[in-house]
Structure formats: structure tokens, C-alpha cells
């Protein structure tokens, strides 16, 4: 029988904050954020990057141009994909914002709790970003259609229910097995589910369409990469500290399900009539991406034949040395409103 997990006490005077006693989960700390003594250096590094990535959606310009383009230049298929994929991204960030504290309540490392708190804040910013896009680009009568796209789309509804249930299982029964599955679900959500959506918006940008939406997505993608890294590190620490909880078979099984879901959804929402991206090539991309993400966990490829990213334009857009990269990504790479981080959290 799987072991039930105990939620952290808010204040535990009998706790031990010594680094030698600290573990990623199942520790016994006082509840004090002693950030001058940290066990996990990757959390310190991520903190500095995440704070340096601070941005707000109101600073992204050009959304009025996107509003004109949405109705005047996008094809029927591109419009439908724009709405459906935006709806899925809205759901993903919504559920992350609300759910992350449930998992953080069982993490017994203050430095990791800290970066999870920043992640939850960033997910909330992403939700506000989508609201800004809808308010600026989409007519008011279409906004609820996008928010609730899943009400009339069976495939998207099943996707949302699958993810939601994975998290709900842990909330309802916090145990070793449900926690590990929930952590893996977080990793898959951040590292796979988001990225096909990003690929669609990047493809529009590659065809000089919806540039402001693309800039907003680029900020979000930059944040999500740090979130992928957080959960990859948490999974690795669980493997090292709690090998009885770690289960590679679960990771592989859930990754396979995620890939199958992404392929089905992409073929459904993209079809074969959008220039530069379609269901067939997205199938190749998703398998390649899955291998890439498994490598972060030092797990062998699930799809040995998927050795190359078929979407070369994604690499070009994310390369600031390329012409289009300079046009599109330079602002995203350089944009920060935080002050210098020299000396911050420095010990």
C-alpha cells in the first residue's frame, strides 16, 4: 500500500533546518526560510534567472496590429487553431497557478519552496497575458468562446480532464504514488504540453503574422523553460533521495500518453492546411521533444528514430544571431524590469 504523505507544518519548533538533515520531501524543518543555508544549488541559480525574467504583459506593444490581422489576413484554419490553442494554454496556466501550492506544501526545502512560489506568480502573469491578448485582439463576443472552447470540443475536454484528474488525485489522496505521478504530470505539462502551442505561434511569426502575440508567447516560453528545469531537478532529487518512490516506468508510461494526446490534439486543431505546421510534422516534433525532455532526466529515448527537430524555424526564431531572431527575439532576450541581481541571495 502506498504511504500517505504528511503536509508541512506551518511552524515546527522541533524541526531541524541543518543542511545535512534536509531532503526534497519528507523532511522536518522548522518552517523558517533560512536561505543562507541551502542544499540544492540549482534552486539558487533558478531563483536568480526567474527574478531576472520579470515582465508584465501591458508592456508588449502591437496587439492592435494583431487584431486587424486576425480578422483580415489569417485563414479560417489559422483562426480556429489560434482560438483552440490559446484556450488550451489558458487552461494549462490556470491550473498551474492554483495547483502549485498543493505540491509545494509537501516540499521540505525552503530554497525549492521559494522558486515554486515564483513559478506560481509567473503562471498568474501568464494568465493575465492571455487576458490581455483576448482584450486587445479578439472581439468581446469571441472571448468566452476561447475561454470555454473545451465545452464544444470533445478532444480538448478530454485533455483538460486528464490533466486535472492527475492533480486532483493527489489533492484527494496525498500519498507517495499520487505525489510522484503529480510531479511527473507537472514536468510533462511544462515540457511537452505547452510547447506544441508555442510552436504554432512561432510558426505564425515565421510567416510574419500575429507578431505581438508571438512576442507575448516568447516571454511565456522563456519562463516555462525555468519551470521545466525546476521539475526535472525535483524528479532527479527524488530518484537520488527516495529511490523507493521514484518509478521510471511511470515516467515513460505518462510520457507516452502525453505524446499520444499531443499528436491527436495537434492533428485535430491544426489539420494539414496551415503553412509551415501541420499534424504530421507535429507528430515528428512531439516525439523528438519527448526524447529531449527524457534526456533531462537521464532517461533513454522513447522514440529512437526521432533524432532531429523537423521545425527548423523554431530554432531560428530562438537564435538571436539569426536575422529573424534579431527581429523577433532580441526584445524578449533583453527585456527585464528587475534591477541588477549582483549580490542577490549571495552566500
Q: What is the pLDDT of residues 185-224, one digit of tens each?
A: 999 999 999 998 999 999 999 999 999 999 999 999 999 9
CB atoms within 10 A of CB 249: 7
HSE-CB of 260 using CA atoms within 13 angstroms: 8
Centre a 10 Å sphere on the Cβ of residue 61 and count the other Cβ atoms it contains. Answer: 11
Alpha-helical (H) ranges within 105-210 are: 110-137, 140-147, 154-172, 176-188, 194-206
Residue 20 falls within a domain, yes or no? no
- Does the pLDDT value for residue 319 go beyond 80? no
**Nearest CA to 290 among 309, 271, 315, 270?**
309
Domain count, the chain: 1
pLDDT exceeds 60 at position 154: yes
What is the grid cell recorded at 293? 525532455
Give a yes or no: residue 3 inside a domain: no
Report how far residue 228's alpha carbon sits from residue 249's, in angstroms, rounded to the nearest whole number. 20
b (16+ CB within 10 A) / e for 106-132: bbbbbbbbbbbebbbebbbbbbebbeb
Instruction: Give me the CATH number covering residue 281.
Output: 1.10.620.20
- Check whether 280 has a pLDDT greater than 60: yes
Q: What residues pair up with 175 in beta bridges, in sequence order?
A: 4
Kindly tell me if the per-residue pLDDT of 333 is higher than 70: no
Contacts 24+ apart (CB under 8 A), 235-244: 235/183, 235/184, 235/187, 235/297, 236/297, 236/298, 237/24, 237/40, 238/24, 238/25, 238/180, 238/183, 241/23, 241/24, 241/25, 242/23, 242/24, 242/25, 242/26, 244/176
Does 1 map to a domain? no
**Residues tagged active-site:** 130
Report if residue 268 sits inside a domain. Answer: yes
Mean pLDDT of 15-35: 94
In a domain, 182, yes or no: yes
What pLDDT does residue 329 have?
A: 41
C-alpha cell at 247: 518509478
**C-alpha to C-alpha distances, 172 to 161, 169, 182, nearest whole angstrom:** 15, 5, 12
- Determine the structural domain holding residue 162 and report its residue range: 60-334
In a domain, 36, yes or no: no
Measure the CA–CA gap between 84 and 143, rounded to whole angstroms.
12
Is 29 inside any structural domain?
no
C-beta separation of 255 from 290 below 8 A: yes
CA distance 88 to 157: 9
- pTM equals 0.91
For the stretch 96-136, pLDDT in tens is 999 999 999 999 999 999 999 999 999 999 999 999 999 99
**222 within domain boundaries:** yes
Say if CB 17 and CB 3 are below 8 A apart: no
Amino acid at each position: 500500500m502506498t504511504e500517505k504523505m504528511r503536509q508541512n507544518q506551518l511552524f515546527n519548533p522541533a524541526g531541524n533546518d541543518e543542511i545535512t538533515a534536509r531532503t526534497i520531501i519528507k523532511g522536518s524543518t522548522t518552517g523558517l526560510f533560512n536561505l543562507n543555508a541551502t542544499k540544492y544549488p540549482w534552486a539558487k541559480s533558478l531563483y536568480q534567472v526567474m527574478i531576472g525574467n520579470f515582465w508584465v504583459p501591458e508592456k508588449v506593444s502591437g496587439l492592435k496590429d494583431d487584431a486587424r490581422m486576425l480578422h483580415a489576413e489569417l485563414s479560417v484554419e489559422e483562426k480556429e487553431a489560434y482560438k483552440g490553442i490559446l484556450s488550451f494554454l489558458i487552461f494549462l496556466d490556470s491550473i498551474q497557478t492554483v495547483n502549485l501550492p498543493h505540491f509545494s506544501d509537501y516540499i521540505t526545502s525552503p530554497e525549492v519552496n521559494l522558486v515554486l512560489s515564483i513559478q506560481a506568480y509567473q503562471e498568474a502573469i501568464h494568465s493575465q497575458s492571455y487576458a490581455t491578448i483576448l482584450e486587445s485582439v479578439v472581439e468581446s463576443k469571441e472571448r468566452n468562446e476561447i475561454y470555454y472552447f473545451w465545452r464544444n470540443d470533445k478532444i480538448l475536454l478530454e485533455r483538460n480532464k486528464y490533466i486535472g484528474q492527475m492533480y486532483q488525485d493527489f489533492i484527494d489522496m496525498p500519498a507517495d504514488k499520487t505525489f510522484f505521478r503529480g510531479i511527473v504530470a507537472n514536468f510533462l505539462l511544462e515540457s511537452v504540453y505547452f510547447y506544441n502551442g508555442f510552436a504554432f505561434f512561432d510558426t505564425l511569426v515565421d510567416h510574419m503574422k500575429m507578431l505581438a502575440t508571438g512576442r507575448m508567447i516568447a516571454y511565456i516560453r522563456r519562463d516555462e523553460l525555468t519551470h521545466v528545469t525546476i521539475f526535472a531537478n525535483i524528479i532527479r532529487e527524488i530518484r537520488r533521495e527516495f529511490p523507493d518512490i521514484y518509478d521510471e516506468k511511470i515516467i515513460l508510461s505518462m510520457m507516452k500518453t502525453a505524446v499520444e494526446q499531443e499528436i491527436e490534439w495537434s492533428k485535430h486543431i491544426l489539420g494539414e492546411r496551415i503553412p509551415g505546421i501541420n499534424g504530421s510534422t507535429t507528430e515528428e516534433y512531439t516525439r523528438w521533444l519527448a526524447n529531449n525532455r527524457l534526456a533531462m532526466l537521464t532517461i533513454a529515448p522513447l522514440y529512437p528514430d526521432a533524432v532531429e527537430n523537423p521545425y527548423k524555424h523554431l530554432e531560428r526564431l530562438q537564435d538571436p544571431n539569426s536575422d529573424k531572431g534579431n527581429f523577433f527575439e532580441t526584445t524578449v532576450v533583453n527585456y527585464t524590469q528587475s534591477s541588477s541581481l549582483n549580490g542577490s541571495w549571495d552566500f
